[in-house]
Amino acid sequence: MGGMLWLIVLLPLMGAAVNGFFGKNLPKPAVYAVALGSTGLSFALAVLAFMELVAMPADARVVNNVIYDWITAGDLNVAVNFLLDPLSGLWMLVVTGVGFLIHVYSVGYMSHDRTFWKFFSYLNLFMFSMLMLVLGGNFLLMFIGWEGVGLCSYLLIGYDYHRTAAAVAGKKAFVMNRIGDFGFILAIMLIFVVFGTLDYHGVFSQAHEKLVAGGTVVTAITLLLFLGATGKSAQIPLYTWLPDAMEGPTPVSALIHAATMVTAGVYMLCRTSILFNMAPFTMTVVAVIGCATAVFAATIGLFQKDIKRVLAYSTVSQLGYMFMACGVGAYVAAAFHVMTHAFFKACLFLGSGSVIHSMGGEQNMEKMGALKKHMPQTYWTFLISTLAIAGIFPFAGFFSKDEILAETFGSGHTALWVIATVAAGVTAFYMFRAVFLTFHGKSRVDHEVEHHLHESPYVMTLPLIILAFLATVGGFLGIPIIEGANVLHNFLGPVFAQGAEHAAEHGGGHSLELELGLMGLSLGVAITGIALAYYFFLKNPAAAERMQKSYQGIHTLVFNKYYIDELYDWLFTRPIVRASREILHKIVDVQIIDGLVNGVASFFMGLSSVARRLQSGLIRDYALTMAVAFVLLAGFYLWGGR
């Protein structure tokens, strides 16, 4: 198995290279074969590797595979090594599995695209980067993957590069991620200075001996890491790129901006949980930011008209839950939610893609309605996933979200728990709003679009069905209450064991009654949300309009996403660009520095016009000059030369 890890990572890269270099001249089936073959094989190998990992004894499930030395400079030695343990194993399976399904789906979705070979090349390159991020055995490799997925995100958001909106959104995503990376890279350097290595094992095994729990250094490291995570995982204050990223093709939104890449920040926190557990202040920051993002993004999701934007804000919101979980030390719950979220959110995005595909590119839900009868498979899978995200028993989201809420309650962050529970209700409301507006009620579809409506081909619906199935049963991996039934806890537990004294306290600590009560409560909140959505958008749409009219101000504010983009533009972008152009370039560079240089130049020109008179061409003048010079030189040697 040692030989397989690098192959799992490298296969997608080879696929990307083949399609990138030769795809243009290959027949369509060959491009598909390369793209799907490489990811499919990578997935198969991942499953094998995972099975071998599971077969190992529970406390020894670590495979570390060194390939070669990458950068050696003095005592800095960074290897290319891959690390497989339960944590990276879980992520590896999600990435390759969901990734493969989305590749399959893309065959149908991108069938009319002119440069589909390029699309698949980018998609494969993304898989490579993401696997590098997850399986890399040291911080720098994670950083490579981290930047690599950012690059692919940039390329794929701006895939329709001739649309300026897409190109701009791609750039925005990259730059905002770079702001986060600024923190990540500083954290890496601080880690190296403290530990003298960047290897996970070296760092984590020395954490308790080289760092003081609660001290400034570990707080700084974790805060900087978390800054990186807010960029990649679209948390406050760096979340604004993710909704804009919806400019990319829908499979991209599903794969990168829902299921995998945006969870990289959660992976990072889980991976470095030992450090985070030593920094209570950072933990509080993480929990608060996560909770704030969860509720903030959920409210924006309430009034969006674009189906993909609704899903984007719900992604931001769900990521907030995951961070809140990390912040209260419930890493297993966070990882659990990452997994179930990958299933249902990928399914939702692909479902929306199926709708958009059928509607000829229309994304506005106000122009949809009653699509249920035209595309039943899409409808049912979409509905199942919506039930999952809303947290309805027994769908996957119920278990993972409930675990997060219960852990938050158990950790004593009651305020966070209240807010997050309310946000869960909001989520159920706006997600069902989307379902009702899209699939139920009266059709508001344009006439010429109406008779093009069709269910998507099998190559697209099959991934939907598989994902919907996973969204249904995925939660059973983490069944609470029953002793020993929480498979995921038993599996991931040892990874977090080292710093888990504090997590274990509230892990399974609370009573059965309490746990059942919490469950009932969150279920009740979700059902209330659904009922309200039913009332406003199906039963009595006029009421929704009346509400909107009477709270026009709030509606405008929220519909415009609280004007955060405008605020950032006004606070940062404009002043920096203006100052650079008007002050730095036009004044400092051109007037001050160049003015000085030109001044010196004209001074010397003036001087030389004086000097030119010396060259009068008269021998008498030259003779005089020579005589003076001789006297001076002689004087220098006689008196000054000693």
Partner 1 sequence: MLLSAVTFIPLAGVLAILFVGAKNENLIRIITLVTGLADLAASLLLWTGFNDATAEMQFVERIPWISGWGAEYYMGIDGISLLMVILTTVTCVICYLATWTAIERNVKEFNIAMLVLQTAMIGVFCALDFLLFYVFWEMMLIPMYLLIGVWGGKRRIYATVKFFIYTMAGSVLMLLAILVLYFEYHSRTGVYTFDILKYYGLGLDPVLAYGLFLCFFIAFAIKVPVFPFHTWLPDAHVEAPTAGSVILAGVLLKMGTYGFLRFSLPLFPEAAQAAAWWISWLALIGIVYGALVAMVQEDIKKLVAYSSVSHLGFVVLGTFAFNLRGIEGGVMQMINHGISTGALFLIVGILYERRHTREIGEYGGITRIMPKFAVVFMIVTLSSIGLPLTNGFVGEFMILLGVFEANKIYAAVAATGVIFGAVYMLWMFQRVMFGEVTNEKNKNLPDLTTREFVYMTPLIVLIFVLGVYPNPVIKKMEASVKHLVTVVEKKGACCPPSAHAAENAPAPGVPATDGHEHHAMESVPHTDGHADHTATEEKRD
Note the residues at the interface with partner 1 (CB under 8 A). 68-74, 76, 140, 143-144, 147-148, 151, 154, 158, 161-164, 167-168, 170-171, 174-175, 178-179, 181-182, 185-186, 189-190, 192-193, 576-577, 579-581, 584-585, 588-589, 593-594, 597, 600-601, 604
Cα separation of 315 and 243, whole Å?
9
Q: In the complex, what is the shortest distance from the CB of residue 76 to partner 1, in angstroms, rounded to a whole number?
A: 6
Cα separation of 219 and 511, whole Å?
33
Identity of the amino acid at 100: F
Cα separation of 384 and 366, whole Å?
22
Q: In the complex, what is the shortest distance from the CB of residue 602 to partner 1, in angstroms, rounded to a whole number?
A: 11
Nearest to 120 by CA among 264, 246, 259, 14: 14
| φ/ψ of residue 487, rounded to 5 | -55, -40
Q: In the complex, what is the shortest distance from the CB of residue 226 to partner 1, in angstroms, rounded to a whole number?
A: 16
Instruction: Return the number of the residue (175 or 479) whose C-beta is nearest partner 1.
Output: 175
- Tokens 């950083």 found at: 143
Identity of the amino acid at 163: R
Instruction: Return the number of the residue (147 or 407) whose C-beta is nearest partner 1.
Output: 147
Q: In the complex, what is the shortest distance from the CB of residue 585 to partner 1, in angstroms, rounded to a whole number?
A: 5
When computed from its CA atoms, the radius of gyration of the chain, rounded to whole angstroms, is 30
- Spatial CB neighbours of 272, under 8 Å, sequence gap ≥ 6: 204, 222, 225
Q: In the complex, what is the shortest distance from the CB of residue 124 to partner 1, in angstroms, rounded to a whole number?
A: 15
Q: In the complex, what is the shortest distance from the CB of residue 599 to partner 1, in angstroms, rounded to a whole number?
A: 11
Instruction: Return the number of the residue (7 or 168) whose C-beta is nearest partner 1.
Output: 168
Instruction: Return the number of the residue (161 or 551) whose C-beta is nearest partner 1.
Output: 161
Angular region, 618: left φ>0, alpha ψ -120 to 50, beta rest: beta
Instruction: Return the number of the residue (178 or 555) whose C-beta is nearest partner 1.
Output: 178
Distances (CA, A) of 10 to 62, 82, 119, 354, 531: 20, 12, 18, 31, 48
Cα separation of 302 and 311, whole Å?
11
Instruction: Return the number of the residue (547 or 584) whose C-beta is nearest partner 1.
Output: 584
Q: What is the full DSSP assignment across 161-212?
A: TTSHHHHHHHHHHHHHHHHHHHHHHHHHHHHHHHHS--BHHHHHHHHHHHS-
Nearest to 391 by CA among 431, 351, 364, 347: 431
Instruction: Return the number of the residue (6 or 182) whose C-beta is nearest partner 1.
Output: 182
Q: In the complex, what is the shortest distance from the CB of residue 590 to partner 1, in angstroms, rounded to a whole number?
A: 8
Q: In the complex, what is the shortest distance from the CB of residue 491 to partner 1, in angstroms, rounded to a whole number?
A: 31
Instruction: Return the number of the residue (418 or 590) whose C-beta is nearest partner 1.
Output: 590
- Tokens 């990435």 found at: 95
